[in-house]
């Protein structure tokens, strides 16, 4: 593999609602770049990205998949993310290291709830975004309605760069209003013919071209002046303005394609190559100290682990982004969390489960290594004597909790150990031994998320476990005191040992659940002593 300088590396995360075509698009991009010679399909379970048994069984992505390809003189790292929000941890990790997000929309169903959820994350990270309206070959494809919805939900910064000439079953041409060209595909897709825009489309293409220029110029005074002077901007000026506007999250260019028919992905790669920002174009990464670290390949070596895979037969594999300097195989780096030294024995670039050995990776690049002793997701590795601690990824709080049950009590220890590994891999999975409930509690992002953990315990660790509702622990909270008078009849009182009537204190109480599920309304009554009955 060639050596790539920081400015020649682009990191993109493919995002969007489940089933919109992210994995198919990533596969098509690998094929177009010549990284693979045959395109796999999700249906056949042979895509580079969805390579795990679980993903084959489910027919959709569950984990981030790190891919890479070469496009002209650049390296494009692609992280294909799962579309289901239960795997928010995977989506957030990918966004943390991506310098551009590709939000894939389904032309047949428009903007879906998953796209809106992902959008909230991208707003937090301020990731430069492009939109890709996929499935333009679908029978019910409605490009205009999808764009309309995208503008409504994500704002007018969504700006059309391409539109399909003939969406639906016969889809085979795209009009590009940045290049002012028509791309026409043969039935097998692939490299298109570049043709002049047909006369029937000249007005629409011209109008969208002007809208694109105005959307670019409005964010740049110099370009705005030029636009007023010349009445237009040339492609180089538009590209320069587009890049700046993308970096500032001011403009989201929109493309269209059919990933399945291999129509349009090459032009998207071309755009990523020409215009998408590299890591050094982006603001420097923040450090725990509040300071920042510029992305400079001549700086001290510093990398950040954003993902860990831990499988019984494979061991641990750590995925990282180089934030500064250059990492070389054989280097010794320090874990800023533990102070432990870690030797980078081998360096890899990945395509799903396939690894290629490389000797070094420069700032801005993404790679993987194995056999780190005590380094996990969210850890920083730095050169000895040049300490940096990159701000960790903030993972979302758990949304659901279950209690673990096993018929074989002796397995609990093994289950706890296995989940410890799973949590190192996925920090949104949290195990807690509740002394109060006398139960082992597992929390995560949703039912599917926890079921995936169960699947892994059963299939990878061969441990049988069942989920149960956590017990509810009732606690009594003294909220206030009240005065009450009542008559107490007592035989002994009659005998003169206690007063016949006195002022007593009553406890008002509130039920509190500790199991992370809403407290149930109190159904129990209390006796005089305050004990539940």
Ligand X SMILES: Nc1nc2c(ncn2[C@@H]2O[C@H](COP(=O)(O)OP(=O)(O)OP(=O)(O)O)[C@@H](O)[C@H]2O)c(=O)[nH]1
> Which stretches of the chain bind ligand X, using CB under 6 A?
16, 18-24, 41-43, 60-61, 82-83, 134-135, 137-138, 258-260
Least Å from the CB of residue 43 to ligand X: 6
Least Å from the CB of residue 83 to ligand X: 3
Return the number of the residue (135 or 456) whose C-beta is nearest ligand X. Answer: 135
Chain-centroid distance, C-alpha 265: 21
Q: CA nearest 105: which of 147, 60, 59, 63?
A: 147
Q: Choose from ligand X, Mg ion, none: what does 292 bind? Cβ within 5-8 Å by kind.
A: none
Length of the chain as a residue count: 533
- Contact yes or no for 314/354 (Cβ under 8 A): no
Least Å from the CB of residue 134 to ligand X: 5
Beta-bridge partner residues of 177: none
3-state secondary structure of 282: coil
Q: Choose from ligand X, Mg ion, none: what does 470 bind? Cβ within 5-8 Å by kind.
A: none
- Contact yes or no for 264/257 (Cβ under 8 A): yes
Q: Which residue's CB comes closest to ligand X? A: 83
Q: Which residues contact 135 (CB under 8 A, 6 or more apart)?
A: 20, 21, 106, 107, 108, 141, 258, 259, 260
Least Å from the CB of residue 18 to ligand X: 4
66 CB neighbour count, 10 Å cutoff = 25
Residue 358 phi/psi, 5-degree rounding, is -130, 160
What stretch of H or E contains 294? none
Least Å from the CB of residue 60 to Mg ion: 6
Q: Choose from Mg ion, ligand X, none: what does 217 bind? Cβ within 5-8 Å by kind.
A: none
Return the number of the residue (19 or 241) whose C-beta is nearest ligand X. Answer: 19
Task: Using CB under 5 A, list all residues that contact Mg ion.
Answer: 22-23, 61
Q: Which residues contact 380 (CB under 8 A, 6 or more apart)?
A: 302, 303, 304, 305, 335, 336, 337, 388, 389, 390
Q: Choose from Mg ion, ligand X, none: what does 364 bind? Cβ within 5-8 Å by kind.
A: none
Q: Choose from ligand X, Mg ion, none: what does 321 bind? Cβ within 5-8 Å by kind.
A: none
Return the number of the residue (41 or 152) whose C-beta is nearest Mg ion. Answer: 41
Least Å from the CB of residue 376 to ligand X: 25
Q: Choose from ligand X, Mg ion, none: what does 398 bind? Cβ within 5-8 Å by kind.
A: none
- SS3 sequence of 225-237: HHHHHHCCCCHHH
What stretch of H or E contains 69? strand 65-71
Q: Choose from Mg ion, ligand X, none: what does 260 bind? Cβ within 5-8 Å by kind.
A: ligand X
Return the number of the residue (10 or 260) whose C-beta is nearest ligand X. Answer: 260
Return the number of the residue (138 or 367) whose C-beta is nearest ligand X. Answer: 138
Q: Rounded distance, CA 337 to CA 375, Å?
A: 9
Least Å from the CB of residue 14 to ligand X: 8
Return the number of the residue (23 or 28) whose C-beta is nearest Mg ion. Answer: 23
Least Å from the CB of residue 297 to Mg ion: 32
Q: Choose from ligand X, Mg ion, none: what does 19 bind? Cβ within 5-8 Å by kind.
A: ligand X
Beta-bridge partner residues of 317: 309, 370
Give, rounded to a whole angstrom, the gap between the first and last alpha carbons of the chain: 73
């Amino acid at each position: 593999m060639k050596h790539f300088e920081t400015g020649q590396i682009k990191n993109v995360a493919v995002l969007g609602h489940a089933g919109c075509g992210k994995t198919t698009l990533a596969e098509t991009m690998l094929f177009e770049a010549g990284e693979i010679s045959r395109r796999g399909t999700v249906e056949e379970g042979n895509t580079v990205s969805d390579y795990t048994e679980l993903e084959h069984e489910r027919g959709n992505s569950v984990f981030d998949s790190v891919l890479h390809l070469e496009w002209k003189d650049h390296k494009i790292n692609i992280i294909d993310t799962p579309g289901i929000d239960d795997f928010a941890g995977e989506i957030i990790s990918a966004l943390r290291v991506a310098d551009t997000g590709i939000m894939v929309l389904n032309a047949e169903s428009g903007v879906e709830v998953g796209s809106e959820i992902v959008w909230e994350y991208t707003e937090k990270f301020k990731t430069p975004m492009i939109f890709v309206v996929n499935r333009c070959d679908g029978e019910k494809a409605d490009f205009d309605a999808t764009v309309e919805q995208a503008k409504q939900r994500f704002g007018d910064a969504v700006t059309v760069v391409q539109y399909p000439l003939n969406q639906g079953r016969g889809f085979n041409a795209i009009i590009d209003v940045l290049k002012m060209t028509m791309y026409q595909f043969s039935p097998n897709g692939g490299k298109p013919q570049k043709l002049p825009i047909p006369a029937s489309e000249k007005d629409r293409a011209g109008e969208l071209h002007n809208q694109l220029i105005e959307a670019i110029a409005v964010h740049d005074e110099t370009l705005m002046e030029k636009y007023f002077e010349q009445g237009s901007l040339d492609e180089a000026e538009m590209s320069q303005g587009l890049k700046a506007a993308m970096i500032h999250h001011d403009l989201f260019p929109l493309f269209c394609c059919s990933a399945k028919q291999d129509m349009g992905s090459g032009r998207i790669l071309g755009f990523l190559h020409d215009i998408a920002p590299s890591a050094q174009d982006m603001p420097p990464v923040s450090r725990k100290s509040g300071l920042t670290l510029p992305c400079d390949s001549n700086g001290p070596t510093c990398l950040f682990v954003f993902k860990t895979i831990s499988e019984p037969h494979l061991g641990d594999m750590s995925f990282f982004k180089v934030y500064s300097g250059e990492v070389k195989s054989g280097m010794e780096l320090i874990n800023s969390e533990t102070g432990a030294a870690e030797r980078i024995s081998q360096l890899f670039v990945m395509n799903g489960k396939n690894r290629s050995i490389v000797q070094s990776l420069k700032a801005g690049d993404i790679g993987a290594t194995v056999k780190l002793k005590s380094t996990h997701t969210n850890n920083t590795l730095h050169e000895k004597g040049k300490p940096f601690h990159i701000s960790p990824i903030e993972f979302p709080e758990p949304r659901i909790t279950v209690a673990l049950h096993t018929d074989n009590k002796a397995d609990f220890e093994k289950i706890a150990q296995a989940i410890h590994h799973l949590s190192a891999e996925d920090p949104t999975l949290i195990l807690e031994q509740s002394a109060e409930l006398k139960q082992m509690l597992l929390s995560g992002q949703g039912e599917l998320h926890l079921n995936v953990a169960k699947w892994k315990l059963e299939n990878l660790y061969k441990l049988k476990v069942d989920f149960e509702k956590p017990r509810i622990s009732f606690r009594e909270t003294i909220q206030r005191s009240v005065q009450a008078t009542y008559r107490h009849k007592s035989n002994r009182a009659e005998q003169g040992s206690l007063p016949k009537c006195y002022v007593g204190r009553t406890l008002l109480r509130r039920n509190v659940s500790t199991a992370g599920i809403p407290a149930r309304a109190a159904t129990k009554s209390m006796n005089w002593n305050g004990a539940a009955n």
